[in-house]
Amino acid sequence: QVIKCKAAVMWEANKPFSIEEVEVAPPKAHEVRIKIVATGICRTDDHVITGGMVMPFPIILGHEASGIVESVGQGVTSVKPGDKVIPLFAPQCGECSSCLNTKGNLCSKNDIGSAAGFMPDGTTRFTCKGKVIHHFISTSTFTEYTVVHESAVAKIDSAAPLEKVCLIGCGFSTGYGAAVQTAKVEPGSTCAIFGLGGVGLSVVMGCKAAGASRIIAVDINSDKFAKAKELGATDCVNPKDFKKPIHEVLIEMTGNGVDYSFEVIGRIETMTAALACCQHNYGVSVIVGVPPAGQKITFDPMLLFSGRTWKGSVFGGWKSKDSVPKLVADYMKKKFVLEPLITHTLPFTKINEGFDLLRAGK
């Protein structure tokens, strides 16, 4: 059966979300229809609105969520109706080269780079006012019901609180994994984190869990420092307080530069600053923020020739279908907290207010 429900549709760039009645088609073979219970707001959704990440409109955004399986298409074996699940913006098909390699996690079935805005078969399950509505990176969670491919959903503990573990669908896992999986931060090391939103704070937690001795949090909004310290930051630095470039400040603070740096904003200036602030010979810098569309980086190759490593991290390096249930289990065992990352809880119809809070740094 087609389900009619509410969704926040983005008809065009730089406009507010419009709460509309949409039709959600039933799942086809190897697809799963999910009733969304909770969804987080992530800067990546906002990048689409502002044009920093190019996607086709009209579109249903949202990619950090939790819900309950409503129905499944033919051939689906990993979930059944009634299961608690988290949709996966980085799918895991289990067959492509990235899925088969122990070091890889960016499944070739992802729709992050190509930005087609469709299900894997090239069609959509959403219509509104007779128009085709695009999907967003395999998930589309700003709707009461969504349809995802079986490779883009993970079954989780039936006791998990959905309004909290939704953050494991993106923000928490992305940041925490960038530290413990991608960078593999070691005990006693020094780290710098540029950007203290939900993902940046999760990097702070990951660095602390890995045993880093010094965790330097960098943001131009000093209001974020108290929470960063609560979660493990040892120092907080506002670049606006200094006349000299921030990478020089961090090198002076540490003597040689940091062992690990993380750019969790999505700006090319901070990406190069994060690279420059890490130790010249064995420092590792990780790009976690989504790079802005169409912008290029120019940097001195001597920064890398001397031995530094520059790497990227999507979804914290986790193989999604395998790792999300384990991360939820770890949360249930109190191995990490999610509560400090939740600043506001709003009804779905107030989604535009939620984005206003995000843009205001609140």
User: For the segment 136-192, what is each residue's pLDDT rounded down to a tens digit?
Assistant: 999 999 999 999 999 999 999 999 999 999 999 999 999 999 999 999 999 999 999
How far is Cα 297 from Cα 302, in angstroms, rounded to an integer? Answer: 14
Domains of the chain in sequence order: 3-171+317-360 (3.90.180.10), 183-312 (3.40.50.720)
Per-residue confidence (pLDDT) for residue 292, from 0 to 100:
85
Per-residue confidence (pLDDT) for residue 216, from 0 to 100:
98
Q: Evaluate if residue 111 carries a pLDDT over 90.
A: no
Are the beta carbons of 33 and 70 closer than 8 angstroms?
A: yes
Strands 126-128 and 18-24: antiparallel
Neighbours of 122 (CB within 10 A): 7
pTM score: 0.95
Range 121-132 average pLDDT: 95
Are the beta carbons of 168 and 324 closer than 8 angstroms?
A: yes
Are the beta carbons of 57 and 10 closer than 8 angstroms?
A: yes
**Residue 305 vs residues 256, 261, 283: alpha-carbon distances, Å:** 17, 18, 12
**Residue 253 half-sphere exposure toward CB, CA atoms < 13 A:** 24
Neighbours of 113 (CB within 10 A): 10
Give me the long-range contacts of 15-18 (CB less than 8 A, separation at least 24): 15/49, 16/352, 17/61, 17/142, 17/351, 17/352, 17/355
Q: Evaluate if residue 238 carries a pLDDT over 90.
A: yes
Per-residue confidence (pLDDT) for residue 190, from 0 to 100:
98
Contacts of 202 (CB under 8 A, 6+ apart): 171, 172, 173, 174, 175, 176, 341
Triad 260, 264, 266: Cα angle to 5°: 125
**Backbone Cα Rg of the chain:** 20
